[in-house]
Amino acid sequence: MDKTIAFLVAPEGVEQVELTEPWKAVKQAGGTPKLVSTGAGQVQGFNHLDRADTFAVDATVDQVSAADFDGLVLPGGVANPDFLRTVPQAVAFAKGFFDAGKPVAAICHAPWTLIEADVVRGRTVTSWPSLRTDLRNAGATWEDREVVVCTGGPNKLVTSRKPDDLKAFCQATVDAFG
């Protein structure tokens, strides 16, 4: 896979393992992951509610567009997508992948950003269970499965529920980007 994949995260609050495991999977498949955020510098990862490692930002959402990448990964954590959905440039960046027909993978609470972008209507998805009603209200069909790959739209959309689903999520993500 000779592809460049954007990982969109907020300055803090990303669930670290939901960033690092898909990142490793993309690299192992021969892809080039790039960390995109709303601000330059470093982002703060979390292990649930505890601070974890920091990661260097490669680009900010005002410096790039979906045209610069072959796919998008949206890691979860509660605070991460909750912040991203309040930043119009981050929402527009995510929406750009749908408009361009490029694959997107979102895990845990990350579909909040996709709800804000109005791109889940008519799609079949999964997520952390607390987003079920939000996704249904946004027009999606929600299923309780470790990974859902939806091809019923302009692009492939891969979703998973939680860190326990990362093995299946990473495989489906790499397959979608491949």
Q: What is the pLDDT of residue 1?
A: 80
Structure confidence by residue, pLDDT tens digits, 118-158: 999 999 999 999 999 999 999 999 999 999 999 999 999 99
Catalytic residues: 108-109
CA-CA distance, 39 to 45, in Å (whole number)?
A: 15
CATH 3.40.50.880 fits 4-177, yes or no: yes
Q: What is the pLDDT of residue 73?
A: 99
Model's pTM, two decimal places?
Answer: 0.98
What is the percentage of the chain residues whose pLDDT exceeds 70? 100
User: What count of other Cβ atoms lies within 10 Å of the Cβ of residue 18?
Assistant: 30
Q: What is the pLDDT of residue 36?
A: 99
CA-CA distance, 133 to 173, in Å (whole number)?
A: 24
* Exposure string for 155-175, b = 16+ CB within 10 A, e = fewer: bbbbbbbbbebbebbbebbbe
Q: State residue 147 phi and psi, 5-degree precision.
A: -150, 140
The Cβ-side half-sphere exposure at 57, using a 13 Å CA radius, reads: 21
Name the band, by pLDDT with cuts 50, 70 and 90, for residue 4.
Answer: very high
Q: Is the pLDDT of residue 79 over 90?
A: yes
Average pLDDT, the chain: 98
